[in-house]
Structure 1
Amino acid sequence: MADRDPRLSGPTLKVLRLYLMTPREERSGAEISKSTGVGAGTLYPMLARLEEAGWFDSEWENIDPKEAGRPRRRFYRLTGLGETRARAALSEFQMPIVQRGEAWAS
């Protein structure tokens, strides 16, 4: 675990907000990107930093890519520490957490 919290950029706050809507749900990178509009070039390094800081953990999907006809996906989960820190960060930046189905406020 890193000694300091990750940088809380606008895209990072979007990802954290998505996870706080349903904190126990795991999502693939593609799913996160589609839901938040954060591009892969920003998203994957961010997820690596969040994981290194202990806010997220992840694991590879347990499939045979040849049988599935597609590459394996990596699924990311918010940790207890991540949930606590994300709630504090969004509160600090006054970004309300909406429930699933509510419109995103830009």
Structure 2
Amino acid sequence: MNAELRMTVPVARVLAALVADPAGDHYGMALMQASELPSGTLYPILARLTEAGWLDKRWEEVDPSEAGRPARAYYRLTPAALPVARQRLAELHEQTRQASTHSVTKEATA
């Protein structure tokens, strides 16, 4: 697993959605809703996370003609990625909290 993944706001949103239910199987539309990201942003992130070893991807076993829709790809954080994702999200939260506190303190003294 590549732990040096660049943590952008969209990546953090996707990871937060996955961490919220780490045992769940997540598919694109549900992740788009949870992360509030469009498909053009979400799917490249999912591809990068999968390539970096953060996600397992599996295809739903369904007959598309019977289901009336295409088979879904399901994503889940790997066991190794879960603690790293939680740590990286906590670090990001702390950084934004500190930046926010610093900004408020700076404004109060101005």
Q: Same fold (TM over 0.5)?
A: yes
1:53 counterpart letter in structure 2: A
For the residue of structure 2 that corresponds to 1:94, the secondary structure is helix
Residue 90 of structure 2 aligns with which residue?
91
Is residue 58 from structure 1 mapped to residue 71 from structure 2 by the alignment?
A: no
RCO higher in structure (CA 8 A, sep ≥6)? 1
Within-5 A mapping of 1:34-53: 34-53=33-52
Corresponding residue number in structure 2 for 1:82: 81
Q: For the residues of structure 1 that align with 2:90 and 2:63, how far apart are their CA atoms?
A: 42
- Deviation string 1:41-65 (CA, Å, 9 cap, x unpaired) is 0111100110111110111110111
Shift of 1:20: 1.4
User: What is the match of residue 98 of structure 1?
Assistant: none
- Number of corresponding residues: 94
- The answer for unaligned runs of 5 or more in structure 1 is 96-106
Taking the aligned partners of 1:59 and 1:5, their CA distance within structure 2 comes to 24
Q: Which residue of 1 aligns with 2:108?
A: none
Displacement of 1:91: 1.4
Look up the match of 1:102. none
In structure 1, distance between residues paired with 2:68 and 2:83: 38
1:58-87, Cα deviation, whole Å (9 max, x unpaired): 111101111111111100001112212111
Q: Which amino acid aligns with 2:63?
A: D
Greater share of helix residues, 1 or 2? 2
Equivalent residue, structure 2, for 1:67: 66
Instruction: Provide runs of 4+ in structure 1 moved above 2 Å.
Output: none
Give the structure-2-normalised TM-score.
0.78
Q: Which amino acid aligns with 2:82?
A: E
Distance in 2, matches of 1:70 and 1:17, equals 27
SS in 2 for 1:57: strand
